[in-house]
Structure 1
Amino acid sequence: MAKNEQDVEQELPPPRNQPAMPEGFRQLKTQVAGHTFEDSNTEAVGLLQDPTAGCVLKPMGKPECGERELRFYESLAAAGASGDNDLALLRGHVPRFYGPLKLVVNQRERTFLRLEDLTRGMSQPCVMDVKMGKRTWDPESSRNKRKLEEAKYVMCKQKLGLCLPGFQVYLPKENEHPKETKILRHGKDYGKSLSVEGFKQTMVLFFNASDSKTKRARTELLLKEVLRQLQEILSWFNSQRLLHFYASSLLICYDYSRMDQSSKCQSLLNGHHIKEDHPTNWVRVKMIDFAHVYPAEEALPDENYMFGLKSLIDVVQSILHR
């Protein structure tokens, strides 16, 4: 991997000063990428969480980007709950949208998009943001913006069509009680340093994919469910000719505490039905970040996004079958 083992095993950074926000809302602790709160800049705003409603609130950024993302979600909502068109089918692959909301944060009114909290109900949420495609600049980007984007995540982006802006994962502590865990968290600086092999090793780390036979059963369930959801998203892209997605990500979430129930996992693998522990209840793969979604040029498929998606599927399959 691109960083030494000690660096990989670093703990979470100390908590930031709490920003001023309305009662009932708080910073989203599981945010691993994107714009965040900054101690020295009250204008910098990250993701919020409404734990009662089960929502994540994403601040609308630059006016043109924020409006574009809002229109995207509104178009999905208008597609019809039972329709079979491409937009209606896409709704199952993105977080639920609950509309915009104005809140005063750090003494300034801002507009947020209310979205489904994909980690709701998870006691030990493992979260990874994977940006898709070799090209991450949209058709309206300036020449300077294109150069800046092309200089980021060069190794992984050009060979795999994937970038790793950030992740957090729970891992078992070595040589200690089996229930003891540690949480590891890395951001964009780590992702930018990764080679292709480093990216693959990081995916092994994120999925807790140990070679131990006693741990293989629980990891196999996780990987198979991730693959199933990735394949469904790929199937949608193979058929749709409406949209092209730039600088968009997949968010992969799973609950480490649920996959750790190895006996139940083994029962599932043996064909027994345990409804409450089915991986669909604790594994979620959704498309996120739609500030740069444009109509498909000449009704062509989104080969850029699909290149990254197919690479990700190949990586996960290689971990499952190794």
Structure 2
Amino acid sequence: MFKVPVHQVAGHQAIGGKLGPLVDDDGRFYKPLQSGERGSTEKAFYTSFSSNTSIPEDIRRFFPVFHGTQVLEASDGSGPCPHLVLQDIVSGHLSPSIMDIKMGANTWPPQSPEDYITRCLEKDRETTSINLGFRIEGFHIYRSEESDLWKPEKQFIKSFSAQDVRLVLKKFVSSNASPDLDLNPDCAFASIVYGGSTGILAQLRELKAWFEVQTIYRFYSCSVLMMHGKGGSGAAVKLVDFAHVVDGEGVIDHNFLGGLCSLIEFISKATQDEYPNKTCLKDSENNRSSSDNCTCE
């Protein structure tokens, strides 16, 4: 039985008679194949990536498993529609807090139409993409109770400054996360979610090491999905959305890598492992200035 994903935080959603992805009870995610070049590009990427023996196994775990394509009734009632069949990456997580982060200061691929570049550039300038090399696309955070969920509107997120991004990265690992930007987050789960050998920072650094050498693909407008379960358990990083991936042509993907370095630095400076249950980093002048010139460590 197919149903609407309840933990989707960004992108097209299958609600209100709109076309969007579906999930089943077997841990699979059905993403409508976009028409035109975007759909063919994403399908080609998954086909290439899944069969490419040069991709290290420890890197494959950051990407949804590809199970081919399947024709389903579209969620908008328009009839049969081809879908990508992917791993449902949030399946099995209890009350997962999720954040979708679009990577890169430049979110359009080469040879894009002029009008598309204009739209992307406008959005990149309105958000933190150009300044930080990434922007938050959407998130929801479960607080102390399973039913206590904070999921802000898209327009609220779109207006984030660099300082807001730093604050929300703290709230993402806090038990008292709320829309009140004046309420100090407790960072109760910071050491569990961000820290340690299996935390989000370690996973992002593992990805960074691969992006420092891989020249197979360039990932435009791709997202890093960060998630953790109740009490900060099961911290995980996944890459999603590959409709604008192009051939790497033997060149390092500096656009994605720069955003990844910036994200790592922001998370590193947002919280302190030394005081996991008591405090977050103080917002010093150094922290504020670092948002303009993020570099890899």
TM-score (norm 1): 0.75
Question: Which protein has the larger Cα radius of gyration, Structure 1 or Structure 2?
Answer: 1
In 2, Cα distance between equivalents of 1:182 and 1:109: 37
In 1, Cα distance between equivalents of 2:146 and 2:4: 26
Q: Quick one: structure 1 residues 27 and 57, their matched pair in 2 at CA, closer, same or farther if it must change by over 3 Å?
A: same
Shift of 1:153: 4.3
Answer with 246-255 or 60-69: which moved more: 60-69
Within the alignment, does 1:26 sit opposite 2:12 as a pair? no
State the superposition RMSD in angstroms: 2.1
In the alignment, which residue of structure 2 is the partner of 1:10?
Answer: none
Q: Secondary structure of 2:237's partner?
A: strand
Q: Quick one: structure 1 residues 122 and 180, their matched pair in 2 at CA, closer, same or farther if it must change by over 3 Å?
A: closer
> Is the 2:102–2:224 Cα contact (8 Å) retained in structure 1?
yes
Unaligned stretches of 5+ in structure 2?
Answer: 178-185, 273-280, 282-297
Within the alignment, does 1:92 sit opposite 2:72 as a pair? no
In 2, Cα distance between equivalents of 1:209 and 1:231: 26
In 2, Cα distance between equivalents of 1:233 and 1:198: 25
In the alignment, which residue of structure 1 is the partner of 2:157?
Answer: 191
Deviations 1:114-143 (A, max 9, x none): 111121111211111100000001113111
In the alignment, which residue of structure 1 is the partner of 2:52?
Answer: 79
Deviations 1:211-270 (A, max 9, x none): 9xxx66642011110001101111110111111110110111111x243xxxxxxxxxxx
> Is the 1:56–1:115 Cα contact (8 Å) retained in structure 2?
yes
Compare relative contact order (CA 8 Å, sep 6+) and give the higher one, 1 or 2: 1
**1:1-322 residue pairs with structure 2 within 5 A?**
24-39=1-16, 42=17, 44-51=18-25, 53-80=26-53, 85-86=54-55, 90-105=59-74, 106-154=77-125, 155-172=127-144, 182-208=148-174, 218-224=189-195, 225-255=199-229, 257-259=230-232, 282-297=234-249, 299-321=250-272, 322=281
Unaligned stretches of 5+ in structure 1?
Answer: 1-23, 173-178, 260-278
In 2, Cα distance between equivalents of 1:135 and 1:107: 34
Q: Which runs of 4+ in 1 moved over 3 A?
A: 86-90, 215-218
Q: Quick one: structure 1 residues 36 and 218, their matched pair in 2 at CA, closer, same or farther if it must change by over 3 Å?
A: closer
Deviations 1:173-217 (A, max 9, x none): xxxxxx576101124322210111011111111221779xxx666
> Is the 2:217–2:247 Cα contact (8 Å) retained in structure 1?
yes
Shift of 1:92: 2.3
> Is the 2:9–2:98 Cα contact (8 Å) retained in structure 1?
yes
Q: Name the structure where helix makes up a greater proportion of residues.
A: 1
In 2, Cα distance between equivalents of 1:202 and 1:110: 37
Shift of 1:313: 0.4
Shift of 1:37: 2.8
Q: Secondary structure of 1:186's partner?
A: coil
Q: Secondary structure of 1:239's partner?
A: coil
Q: Secondary structure of 1:166's partner?
A: strand
TM-score (norm 2): 0.81
